[in-house]
Amino acid sequence: MTDNKIEVSIIIPCRNEVNFIAKCIESIRNNDYSKNMLEVLIVDGLSEDGTRDIVNEYCQKHSYIHMLDNQKRIIPAALNIGILKARGNIIIRMDAHNIYDNNYISNCVHYLQNNEADNVGGLWVTLPGRDNMIGKSIAFALSHPFGVGNATYRTGSKEPKYVDTVPFGCYKREVFDKIGLYDEDLMRNEDDEFNTRLIKNGGKILLVPEIVSHYYARDTLLKLWRMCYQYGYFKPLAALKVGSVFTLRQLIPTAFVGSLLVKFLCAFFVNRSIHIKSAHFPNTINHTKVISAFKFIPFGVSVNI
């Protein structure tokens, strides 16, 4: 399935990706889309680990690959730099931490052109960032519904369906003319904010299972924690900007933590009241009945009193 008559611009935000950038570029080079109708804009945040040397080598060998500088060193700024420089009628965002199936670009273009959609994306298969127990455990957690919720692009779909977001995205250029660029106030969650803005302006987002990319997860718990912290920190700001919560699934962690706090407070005050009543009225309290009454609290958590 190819359609090589439409000029496509690929934008890759990048910073210090020396271990992954070559794999990413090679997967793009191996795609079946005509290179004469393709430009790859790697927007680098002044990398210091050798990433720029690798990208420069590709730029010298392949005329359709270019490197742009991102002085702000944040993803939304990189995307906006790329969009303003791009010459394609279709703009595909990609990530340097990913590799892409060899029909990824052509599938994106085909489904965008032949469906009522303004943004098309696909499934996101998570790979270990490092071949050890920690790396494999992180990849498993980021692929399981308990770890990622019901995000369809992670859990899978058997047929194309309209969704609230997809990873990265393949957009018609006029989308950016209509609703603007990415919000540079957001270090993370810029795609959630943009896709919600798109839907609120009448746009549609299509997830297609034939479009597949493979993501290298963070390879240490510290890197995973830092990434999740940033996503959690900027999520409320992004929601505030669009005036609503993106999806109900994003409320579940807050509800879960809140329920644990309520259980802790209940256990504390019940335990305290028992001890006070026991001290003043030692013969009037049936401890067995009290413990039975408060042994189980919602969500199946047992509290020892």
**Residue 138 covered by a domain:** yes
CA of 201: how far to CAs of 179, 195, 205, 236, in Å?
7, 10, 12, 21
Q: How many independent structural domains does the chain possess?
A: 2
| Tokens, residue 163 | 């969704």
Please tell me the predicted confidence (pLDDT) of residue 109: 97
Q: Does 226 lie in the same domain as 289? A: no
Those residues whose C-beta lies under 8 Å from the C-beta of residue 213, and which sit 6 or more positions away, are 94, 95, 98, 99, 100, 101, 104, 122, 123, 124, 125, 167, 168
**Residue 194 covered by a domain:** yes
Buried b (16+ CB within 10 A) or exposed e, 216-230: bbbbeeeebeeeeee
Please tell me the predicted confidence (pLDDT) of residue 259: 62
Please tell me the predicted confidence (pLDDT) of residue 47: 96
Q: Does 76 lie in the same domain as 111? A: yes
Q: How far is CA 233 from the centre of its chain?
A: 14
How far apart CA 41 and CA 180 sit, in angstroms, is 20
pLDDT digits (tens, 9 = 90+) for 131-160: 778 767 766 666 655 555 556 765 667 899
**Residue 2 covered by a domain:** no
How far apart CA 192 and CA 247 sit, in angstroms, is 10
Q: Does 37 lie in the same domain as 23? A: yes
Residue 220: give its domain's CATH number: 3.90.550.10
Which of the residues in the chain have pLDDT under 70?
1-3, 129, 135, 138-151, 153-156, 218-221, 223-261, 263-264, 268-305
Please tell me the predicted confidence (pLDDT) of residue 258: 59
Report which of 96, 93, 41, 92 is spatially closest to residue 67, judged by C-alpha positions: 41
**Residue 3 covered by a domain:** no
**Residue 131 covered by a domain:** yes
Residue ending a domain, among 198, 225, 246, is: 246
Task: Quote helix, strand, coil % in the chain, to nearest 5.
Answer: 45, 20, 35
In this structure, are residues 41 and 55 in contact, taking their beta carbons and an 8 Å threshold? no
Residue ending a domain, among 207, 228, 246, is: 246
The pair phi, psi for residue 94, each rounded to 5°, is -130, 165
Q: Does 143 lie in the same domain as 124? A: yes
Q: Does 288 lie in the same domain as 206? A: no
Range of the domain at 286: 252-302
Q: Does 160 lie in the same domain as 69? A: yes
